[in-house]
Amino acid sequence: MELLAMENVSFEFPDENVKVLQNIDMHVSEGEFVVLCGASGCGKTTLLRLLKKELAPVGKRTGEIRYGGKAMDKWDDRTLVEEIGLVSQDPDNQIVMDEVMQEIVFGMENLAYSNFEMRKRVAEMVHFFGMENLLQTKPSELSGGQKQMLNLLSVLLLKPKVLLLDEPTSQLDPIAAKELIMMLERLNKEMGMTIILVEHRLEELFAVADHIVMMEAGQIIYEGMSRELVHSLYMTEDERFIPYIPSVSRMYMEFDQMPVASQVPLNVKEARGWLSTQSAQLSSGHVHESTTEKRQANPLLAVKDVYFRYGKKDKFILKSFSLQIRQGEFFALVGGNGSGKTTALKACIGSLRPQRGNITFEGKEITKLKGLDLAGKVAYLPQNPRTYFVQDTIGKEMEDAVQRYGVVNGGNRITEVLESFGISNLRERHPYDCSGGEIQKAALACMLLGNPEMLFIDEPTKGLDPISKQRFAEIIAELHKQGITIMMVTHDIEFAAQNAERCAMMFDGEITVDGTPGQLFKGNYFYTTALNRATRQSSVGEVLTLEEARILWRNPIVI
């Protein structure tokens, strides 16, 4: 039965003559799991918000939106609040109360439920979520994943029929993201909840979703069931959307002689099944180890036996943490939550003073560097690049940087850098009116004005759509080629495996393994790419990334 429908819906914001949505037609049946994707700015968030009446953006809308067979505007506010729930991106921002229990009941309080009803619902749902022992904690003590679960729980207590989610996993680490997706799958399968999910990271979602909608520039470009969609995307060779497809499906589409829609694998298990039939067709090559001999360059950053803890009674977060990064290297540090990798990065940029051991940059203690000695040589791209901007336009910020670094011929240099990043249009823009990918480039552009020797990057792929991610990878590769030394901390193993030349894994406060991506990730159960999990111990040879597969399987290097 049809639950939600959009018919010929167009939308434009006031004072802007651009249609954010154009002639959208979408039908969602009860119990369906719909995934909505597209590059940032494609209108998917606007579409989602039009379905949540209280948050519907102000502007000119034409066309019809129906819920349960009745026009959306004809429903009363209360019913819509209860029946259509929304969880959005940032886990922290959605929490309003200072205690988990109070946060859980917040929605029910607003709708003036009786205390009896509240207790009943809380008891039931809290148990389902297994959050009993967190009820008295403060939100600031929860992990990102727990916070997002709390947000979901608080919405679910109103017993919605439709759940709208706007990039709910974009700020989470992979494990927490997977848990959230699994919870959504359970809600969909066990309770028949209708789910509309806007997301960039689709690796697991193709297997879960009943229906996938792909958007660009305010229009629905493709929609359909996962397998058919993958197939038709490859048939039309649409480069805009192929990066959204899970790597195992891409592997199938690229390497199968006669790909058939119904056979497209969507998860590791199916991919392994397919691979086992392929040994004859795919030539198996030997593992091609990148034989770049260890550079003899001097270490730029040297960390020796560092110990760090926040308080005297806390446990050590860094324990005998040692690391050397040579001039010109591209190094990625990966590790789970709580492994200490963020603390390690903070120590490397000199924000923390280790209790034992030392960290030197070009032979000088990093915590003692200040002013231009630090700012002129080191750049740090944080998880949230907005924190970099002090001025109210990107142009002004760059002029600031020119002044700070004493760049000669600053004006020209700014134009040059902006053009090389392809963001000249952002010059007059407020940093907060840019998308995640744009702001990242803008911050990098400012930093490059100072000609840094070393670039530290923290979780660069958080919240980026696959296209922006690709662009970012290209930019970083270019910088690396120009000779900038890079240290990156990330959860995103796919990204690290594709881009870094040396990776290390952090565990319990120290580096446990250090080597090329191949050495590090191949053969792991969890800490590796989906493609590796699919190809491990297969007859065609183990690969980490699609690029590697292309090289290895098509043009085998026989030693």
Partner 1 sequence: MSNGLERMHPFVLFLYYVAVGVLAMYFNHPLFLGVGCIVLILVNLTHDNGKALKKWIPMLSVMCAVIILVNPFINSRGTHIFFYFRGKQVTLEATLYGAVLSMSLVLILLMFISFNLILNGNKFLFVFSRFLPRTAFLTMLAIRFVPLLNRRLDEIADVQRVKGLSIKTGTIRQRAKSGMVILQVLLTWSLEEAIETSDSMKARGYGIGKRSPYIPYRLARQEVGWLVTLAVLLLICLVGGLLGYGKIIIYPQLGTLQLYPIDWIVFISMLVIMAFPLLIEGRELLKWNYSLWKTSHSNSRTRT
Partner 2 sequence: MAKSNRYLMAVSILIVILLVASIVLFQYKAYLLLSFLLIGCIMLPMFARFEMKEIGGREIVMLAMLAAIAAVGRVPFAGLPSVQPTTFVIIMVGLVFGAESGFLVGAVAAIVSNIFLGQGPWTPWQMYAWGMVGMTAGLLRNTWWMSKLWGKCVFGFVWGYLFGWFMNMWIIVGNLESFSWEFFTGIYVASIYFDLAHGLSNVFFLLVFGVSWMRILERFKKKYGLFDFQRA
Contact residues: partner 2, CB under 8 A = 96, 392, 430
C-alpha to C-alpha distances, 52 to 87, 154, 459, nearest whole angstrom: 11, 16, 31
Residue ranges with strand state E in 33-76: 33-37, 60-67, 70-71
d(CA 441, CA 25) in angstroms, rounded, equals: 34
The continuous run of DSSP H or E covering 31 comes out as none
Residue type, 393: T
Question: In whole angstroms, how close is the CB of 77 to partner 2 at the nearest point?
Answer: 13
Q: Of 78 and 295, which CB lies nearer to partner 1 in the complex structure?
A: 78
- Closest approach of partner 1 to the CB of residue 103, in Å: 9
How far is residue 292 from each of residues 287, 411, 493, measured CA to CA in Å? 15, 40, 21
CB 153 → partner 1: shortest distance, Å?
Answer: 12
Minimum separation from the CB atom of position 55 to partner 1 (A): 5
Q: How far is the CB of 161 from partner 2 (least distance, A)?
A: 24
Cβ(135)–Cβ(141) under 8 Å?
Answer: no
Question: Minimal distance in Å, beta carbon 351 to partner 1?
Answer: 4
d(CA 112, CA 97): 17
- Partner from partner 2, partner 1, none binding residue 374, C-beta < 5-8 Å depending on class: partner 1
**C-beta of 454: minimal distance to partner 1 in Å?**
11
CB of 49 to partner 2, least distance (A): 15
Q: Can you say whether residue 257 is alpha, beta or left, with left for phi > 0 and alpha for psi between -120 and 50 degrees?
A: alpha
Classify burial at 76, counting beta carbons within 10 Å of its beta carbon; exposed 0-12, middle 13-18, buried 19 or more. exposed
Q: 86 is in the binding site of which of partner 1, partner 2, none (Cβ under 5 to 8 A by kind)?
A: partner 1
**Nearest C-alpha neighbor of 165 from the set 178, 179, 148:** 148
Q: Is 212 or 366 the residue whose CB approaches partner 1 more closely?
A: 366
517 binds, among partner 2, partner 1, none (CB under 5 to 8 A by kind): none
Nearer to partner 2, 429 or 462 (CB): 429
Q: Name the nearest CA neighbour of 549 among 498, 515, 503, 504.
A: 498
292: partner contacted, choices partner 1, partner 2, none (Cβ within 5-8 A by kind): none
User: What is the spatial distance between Cα 56 and Cα 300, in angstroms, rounded to a whole number?
Assistant: 52
**Closer CB to partner 1, 5 or 163, in the complex:** 163
The helix or strand, by DSSP H or E, that contains position 194, with its residue range, turns out to be: strand 194-198
Binding stretches for partner 1 (CB under 8 A): 52, 54-55, 77-78, 81-82, 85-86, 88-90, 92-99, 101-102, 105-115, 118, 138-140, 151, 154-155, 158, 346, 349-351, 370-372, 374-375, 378-380, 382-384, 386-390, 404, 432, 456
**Of 146 and 154, CB closest to partner 1:** 154
Judged by phi (left if over 0) then psi (alpha if -120 to 50, else beta), residue 371 lies in: left
| Residue 160: strand, helix, or coil | coil
Measured from the CB atom, is 1 or 390 closer to partner 2?
390
Q: Which is nearer to partner 1, 350 or 460 (CB)?
A: 350
Which lies closer to partner 1 via its Cβ, residue 119 or residue 269?
119
Residue with tokens 């390497």: 255
Structure tokens at 113: 């439920």
CB of 58 to partner 2, least distance (A): 9
Q: Which helix (H) or strand (E) holds 262?
A: none
Q: Say how far apart CA 245 and CA 465 lie, in whole Å.
A: 12
Instruction: Name 373's Cβ contacts closer than 8 Å, sequence gap at least 6.
Output: 364
Q: Which does 81 bind (CB under 5 to 8 A by kind): partner 1, partner 2, none?
A: partner 1
- What is the distance between the alpha carbons of residues 103 and 150, in angstroms, rounded to a whole number? 8
The option from partner 2, partner 1, none interacting with 79 (CB < 5 to 8 A, set by class) reads none
Contact between 145 and 173 under an 8 Å Cβ cutoff? The reply is: yes
State the binding partner of 414 from partner 2, partner 1, none, CB within 5 to 8 A by kind. Answer: none
- In the list partner 2, partner 1, none, the entry touching 154 (Cβ below 5 to 8 angstroms by class) is partner 1
- Rank residues 62 and 387 by Cβ distance to partner 1 and give the closer one: 387
CA nearest 484: which of 412, 378, 383?
378
In the complex, the smallest distance separating the C-beta of residue 168 from partner 2, rounded to whole angstroms, is 21
Residue 298's binding partner among partner 2, partner 1, none (Cβ under 5 to 8 angstroms by kind) is none
Pick between residue 433 and residue 474 the one whose CB is nearest to partner 2. Answer: 433
Q: Cα-flanking dihedrals φ and ψ of residue 354, to 5°?
A: -65, 150
Q: Binding partner of residue 370 among partner 2, partner 1, none, CB under 5 to 8 Å per kind? A: partner 1
Residue number with CB closer to partner 1 (137 or 519):
137
CB of 94 to partner 1, least distance (A): 4
Which of partner 1, partner 2, none does 109 bind, CB closer than 5 to 8 A by kind? partner 1
Bridge partners (DSSP) of residue 27 are: 5
Radius of gyration of the chain (CA): 25
